[in-house]
Every structure is written in C-alpha cells, then in structure tokens.
Amino acid sequence: MEVKTVGVYGAGLMGRGIAQVALEGGYDVVLYNHRTPTLEKGVAGIKKGFEKKVAKGKITQEQADGWLGHLKATIELEDLKDVDIVFEAMVENMALKKEAFAKMAPIIKPEAIFVSNTSSLSITELAAASQRPEKFLGMHFFSPVPAMKLVEIINAYDTSEDTIETGKAVAKGFGKEFVTVTDVPMFIANRVMCPMMNEAAILAGENVCSYEDIDKACELGYNLPMGPLKLADAIGIDVMIEVMESLYQETADSKYRPAHLYKVLYRAGRLGRKSGKGFYDYTK
C-alpha cells in the first residue's frame, strides 16, 4: 500500500516528533489533538525543531517552510478521514488507546492502517479493539523521535503481511532503522533496558552509593551515553512506573516489579526532566 498522507492522533512529545519526521520524509501530515493548547504546543515544537536545524545549517529556511506547508493541525477528528496511515501517540493507558481507535474506526477510510506507538502494551489487544486487526501495527518510536534512529515494528496476531511491509516502508520513509518482533511484553529494547534501569533504581533506594556513582559506573563500565537514572529522568518517572507495572502484570514475574523509589519520587512530584526534578535536580 502506498502512503502519501500520515495522520497523528495526539500532539504531545511523541506525536509531534512523529509528525516532524513524517514531514521531513515528504509526507502530508494531519496532526490531531482534541485540546487546542496541546495542539498549539505541538506545532510550536515542530517549528522549533526545524528552527534548530536551520540554525545548525542542516536544512534551509526554504526547506523548513516547505515542510510546514504540508502540515495540517486540527482539533476536528473528521479531518483524519482520508489519511493512509494513522499513528496513535497517547499516554500508556490501554483503555484510553482503545477508546481512541474506537473513535477513529468509523471515520477513517477502511483501507487505512492503524498504528500504536505504545512502548509496552499488547498490540494484539489493541488491534482487536480497532475493528481492523489485519491492518493494525505497533511502531514504537524512541524519544526524542527526530534524534533517535530506531523504530520497533510489532505485528498483532492478525496483522497482514502487506500491513507489515507498509510499516517497514514508512519507517524507511521517515529516515529510521527498524527491527521487527511479534507481540511480546515490551518488545525488544525496553524488555532489555527497563529491567536494568529498574535494578539501578532499586540499588539507589538501598542507599549503598550515590545516584551519580550508579550512573558513572554504567556509563564508563558499559560505554553507555547516559546512565540508567539519568535515562529514567529523561523518559519520565511516571512512564517508568507504567512500563514496569505493565511488564509485571503481563508476566507475573516479581523481578519486574517497579522499584519502590520510583513510586516515592512520583508521589513527591519528581517526574524527571519534565517536572524539573527526578533523581536529579534540573532547576539549578
């Protein structure tokens, strides 16, 4: 299936990132959010992303203006009706995601592909609620989307081969590298990385060393660009709790139980970089 127009449901950090790389890939983009302030912030984020590239000499102002000319930002769900593929980019909540696909199903043309950007939820369960399970994919982008090269492509139980191949072509069109995996809890990258980050948070909670030394040990010992506690702050403490809780519930394996310190930080309102404080203080 040829994709010319991309829809994005949700204009938060991930949604606007997906919209940006779609524009850079030469696609027409319809960016939807039901809240005007979130939509405006999303569009501003895309413009800022292009402005940074212009300032660094990576693109011209003419290119940036041309890409923005292919963006339609809207609070009307009906404006998604003619997209060829739509990316859901909401918070990690199964009920809310199912509700989003239920709203889109009768509006968007039947041949269009539905995609969830979930980092941990069951693609098969979402597909079953979409009313078009054979045209459903998971495409897990990493944050920040414009900078991170990887996309995990996940097929649901009933996903067709044509849908998978279309997903691969779109990932390439967005300038991304991809890996493919069947629908298993947390897919590949998060299944490996998040338990390591959780263990770091458990160790931090035991007060056996400083947060800085945990990160330093991992950065220098394993040549990681960012330590696990810094990475948790970048991702968001609330997101880390949701992801680990999802894996714990799905597998019933206690080794995936979220670190207690995550919950303490969350209750203190320390969600990481986005709130100004997490394991570290970013307000200074």
Q: Which runs of consecutive H residues, i.e. helices, occur in the chain?
A: 13-24, 36-55, 61-68, 94-104, 123-128, 161-173, 189-205, 211-222, 228-235, 237-251, 260-267
| Confidence (pTM) | 0.88
DSSP class of 174: T
Annotated catalytic residue 34:
no
Query: What CATH number is given to the structural domain containing 225?
Result: 1.10.1040.10
Q: What is the mean pLDDT of the chain?
A: 96
Domain assignment of residue 284, yes or no? no
Annotated catalytic residue 190:
yes
Residue at which a domain ends, from 182, 198, 222: 182
Residue at which a domain ends, from 148, 182, 216: 182
pLDDT of residue 76: 98
Residue at which a domain ends, from 158, 182, 206: 182
pLDDT of residue 77: 98
Catalytic position from the list 119, 155, 198, 246: 119
pLDDT tens-digit map of 30-49: 999 999 999 999 999 999 99
pLDDT tens-digit map of 62-119: 999 999 999 999 999 999 999 999 999 998 889 999 999 999 999 999 999 999 999 8
pLDDT of residue 228: 97
What is the extent of the structural domain holding 220? 189-275
Residues 107 and 235 in one domain: no
Catalytic position from the list 88, 92, 152, 242: 152
Residues 173 and 237 in one domain: no
In the predicted model, is pLDDT for residue 218 greater than 90?
yes
Q: Give the total number of structural domains in the chain.
A: 2
Catalytic position from the list 122, 190, 246, 275: 190
Residues 108 and 171 in one domain: yes
In the predicted model, is pLDDT for residue 246 greater than 90?
no
Lookup: tokens for 246: 């999802």
pLDDT tens-digit map of 174-199: 999 999 999 998 899 989 998 999 99
No. of helices (H) and no. of strands (E), the chain: 11, 8
Residues 71 and 48 in one domain: yes
Residues 25 and 149 in one domain: yes
